Amino acid sequence: MGRTRVSPTTSARNAATDPDLNPPHAIKLLKADHIVIRSLFSEYGRTTSVGKKKLLVARICAELAVHTQIEEEIFFPAVKQALKDKVLIPEATVEHDTLKFLMSQLLGATVDENFNARIRVLSAYVAHHVIEEHNLLFRRAASTKLNMLQLGAKMVVRKAELLAIRR
């Protein structure tokens, strides 16, 4: 199975195993997810095996789905309220919708040149979205009085629930 192995799941990188995430800080958790997702895209770019590409796309979509859901359910509402934001969170949510549309075109599709093109577009779009979260949203969120450890603890619990549902 060595040829079809993919990287460990994000669930392997959690508060229990990663000293940097213990206690779980909301922004650090989200950044850790971003690193995992970026590494999966890089792995996709290096692989030529159709079987492994399909596995990687399933992993990328699962990681993105759980990550965006946690942001939308827990992180975004808290930050929106703390910042009284009417711009950043709505824009990030619209970008999530676009990510979901791009993902819907990948799952179950044949691996051909269009598939590879869709992955490249999804990868570029995720990179753009992540840069905006890091440079704008996370920075501004960090300047609020939000309790990031409390938020992070909620996110860890919800992520475990969502991952369990997907198994």
User: Alpha-carbon distance 165 to 110, whole Å?
Assistant: 26
Span near Fe ion by CB under 5 A; candidates 48-56, 100-108, 125-133, 144-152: 125-133
What is the smallest separation between the CB atom of 118 and Fe ion, expressed in angstroms? 19
The site map against Fe ion for 78-117 (x = CB under 5 A) is ----------------------------------------
- Contact flags string 48-77 toward Fe ion, x per CB under 5 A: -----------------------x------
- For residues 91 and 110, the answer to whether their CB atoms sit within 8 Å is no
**DSSP secondary structure of 16-83:** TT-GGGSS--HHHHHHHHHHHHHHHHHHHHH---HHHHHHHHHHHHHHHHHHHHHIIIIIHHHHHHHH
User: Of 54 and 133, which CB lies nearer to Fe ion in the complex structure?
Assistant: 133
Residues 131-150 that bind Fe ion (CB under 5 A): 133
